[in-house]
Chains A and B, each alone.
Chain A
Amino acid sequence: SQQGEEDPQALSIQEGENATMNCSYKTSINNLQWYRQNSGRGLVHLILIRSNEREKHSGRLRVTLDTSKKSSSLLITASRAADTASYFCATNNQGGKLIFGQGTELSVKP
Chain B
Amino acid sequence: DAGVIQSPRHEVTEMGQEVTLRCKPISGHNSLFWYRQTMMRGLELLIYFNNNVPIDDSGMPEDRFSAKMPNASFSTLKIQPSEPRDSAVYFCASSREWGEKLFFGSGTQLSVL
Binding site for B on A (CB under 8 A): 2, 30-31, 33, 35, 41-45, 48, 88, 90, 92, 95-103
**Contact of A96 (CB < 8 Å), options: B42, B55, B91, B106:** B55
Per the bound structure, the CA–CA distance linking A98 and B104 in Å amounts to 13
Whether B50 contacts A45 by the Cβ 8 Å rule is: no
Q: State the CA gap A53–B33 with chains docked (Å).
A: 26
**How many residues of B sit at the interface, in one of the four size bands?**
20 to 34
Residues of A with C-beta under 8 A to B103: 45
Q: A42-B107, A96-B31, A97-B48 are in contact. Are A48 and B101 (CB under 8 A)?
A: yes
A42-B105, A92-B99 known; A100+B42 contact, CB < 8 A: yes
| Chain B neighbourhood of A103, CB < 8 A | 42-43
Say whether A98 contacts B91, CB under 8 Å.
no
With A43-B91, A100-B43 as given contacts, are A95 and B102 in contact (CB-CB < 8 Å)?
A: no
> In the complex, which residues of chain A have a beta carbon less than 8 angstroms from the beta carbon of B45?
97-100
Q: Could you say which residues of chain A place their CB within 8 Å of the CB of B50?
A: 96
Partner of A42, one of B56, B99, B100, B106: B106
Give the shortest distance, in Å, between A107 (CB) and chain B (any CB): 17
Min CB gap A51→B, angstroms: 11
Shortest distance between the CB of A7 and any CB in chain B (Å): 14
What's the least CB distance linking B103 to chain A, in Å? 7
Beta-carbon contact of A97 and B42 below 8 Å: no
Q: List 5 A-B contacts (CB under 8 A).
A: A33-B102, A42-B107, A48-B100, A96-B99, A98-B48
Kindly provide the distance from the CB of A21 to the nearest chain B CB, expressed in whole angstroms: 15
User: In the docked arrangement, what's the CA distance between A33 and B99, Å?
Assistant: 10
Contact A95 B104 (CB under 8 A): no
Q: Which of B21-75 contact A (CB under 8 A)?
A: 31, 33, 35, 42-43, 45, 48, 50, 55-56
